[in-house]
Chains A and B, each alone.
Chain A
Amino acid sequence: MLDAIALLLVCQLAGEFIRQLTGLPLPGSIIGMVLLIGWLAAVQRERPTLAAVSGWLTAHLSIMFVPAAVGLIDEGEALSRYGAGLAIATAASTILTMVVTVLVFRWALRRFAAETDAAE
């Protein structure tokens, strides 16, 4: 268990280090995720403890961002001024993104994946 926790923290730490070194406006945790994909690809096997720890973290993701969501307490002004705009932009963008993604995926499946699927 501790080995997996250490691996996640070391990847995040390395990601944070790379972020500070390069000045990339990318969160250290995202760089750490890329590093972990690289590490998994290099060793070609996934320890059961890593699956358990990352699975536990993902399953309890919701409570981890409650403290941040409570930060809305200080955003009353922004919410009252732009609340309607935020709601409309978010809803419209969510639906539009689903439409575009599903159409491109279906088109590309028909265009490029037909041969591979037929060959199976």
Chain B
Amino acid sequence: MSALLAKPLLWLAVTLVVFEAADHLSKRSQRHPLCHPVLLSTPILIGLLLMTGTPYATYADATALLSFLLGPAVVGLAVPIWRQRALIRRLALPIVLALSAGAVTAVVSAVGILALFGAPQEILASIAPRATTTPVAMSVAEQLGGVPALAAMIALFSGIVGGMTATPLFNAMRITDYRARGFAVGVSAHGFGAARAFQVNSTAGGFASLGMALNALATASLLSILALLT
């Protein structure tokens, strides 16, 4: 048994089975943000590691195949951006201005508020890319000296908050333009925001996907410039 615990096969299989079960529950909840499969499967897998006394490094090695796919997946975000090029060209100014304002607000407000709690550099670096899609948040945080696991959790939580508050927030603000609503939730709450926007309206969904993809680029660039300056 102990020989098996150190092999990739066991933990890859366990991760896929646990995730599939979590995904099934998530579907049954009609994709409620709080029933996200990652949110459900992570504590179960942590429990299994603790029960079997498996160090995280062993688990990470065993599941490296899954983590590896994040890189090509991020590269593939080029496809939705390229596909929306006509839209980007037509609404260039609103898109660039709103994207810049959103990217700066996300970084400054998240880092600024967390700094009030006296958090050290590595925790601040983990929250800085919080508005980007989770794999981008993880790799940007790592580049800045942050903790990828924390960055992943923070990005997930951003997505949950954005997905749950966007509709009541924009209704209260009397924003009726679905292009603006979709773009804003995509910039601030990445894939979760886009998923929620598609439930509301397909225009909002398209703009949310665009906001998500462009903000991955904008926030990563902004933070790398800031890192070079400091």
Interface set of A (CB-CB < 8 Å, partner B): 5, 8-9, 11-12, 15, 24-30, 32-34, 36-37, 40-41, 46, 50-51, 53-55, 57-58, 60-75, 78-79, 82, 84-106, 108-109, 112-113, 116
Contact = CB atoms under 8 A, between A and B. Distances in A.
Q: Is the interface of B mostly helix, strand, loop or mixed?
A: helix
B179 A109 contact: yes
A112 B94 contact: yes
A54 B78 CA distance: 9
Contacts of B185: 98
B206 interface: no
Given A15-B75, A64-B70, A94 B161 contact: yes
A25 B139 CA distance: 10
25 contacts: A29-B74, A33-B81, A37-B81, A54-B75, A54-B77, A55-B76, A61-B70, A61-B73, A61-B133, A62-B38, A63-B38, A64-B69, A67-B60, A67-B67, A69-B38, A69-B156, A71-B149, A72-B150, A72-B153, A74-B56, A78-B123, A85-B114, A85-B116, A86-B150, A104-B98
Contacts, number: 325
A19 to B, nearest CB: 9
A72 B149 contact: yes
A67 B62 CA distance: 9
Given A8-B72, A60-B69, A91-B161, 5 more contacts: A25-B143, A26-B143, A29-B74, A54-B76, A97-B102
Contacts of B130: 90, 93-94
B188 A101 contact: yes
Given A29-B71, A98-B169, A72 B46 contact: yes
User: For the complex, would chain A's binding face be called helix, strand, loop or mixed by DSSP majority?
Assistant: helix
Contact of B75 (A11, A78, A102): A11
Contact of B143 (A15, A27, A46, A64): A27
A45 to B, nearest CB: 10
Interface of B: 15-16, 19, 23, 36-38, 41-42, 45-46, 49-50, 56, 59-60, 63-64, 66-67, 69-79, 81-83, 85, 90-91, 93-95, 97-99, 101-102, 105-106, 109-111, 113-114, 116-119, 123, 127, 130-131, 133-136, 138-140, 142-144, 147-150, 152-154, 156-158, 161-162, 165-166, 169-170, 173, 175, 177, 179-181, 183-185, 187-189, 191, 211, 216-217, 220-221, 223-224, 227-228
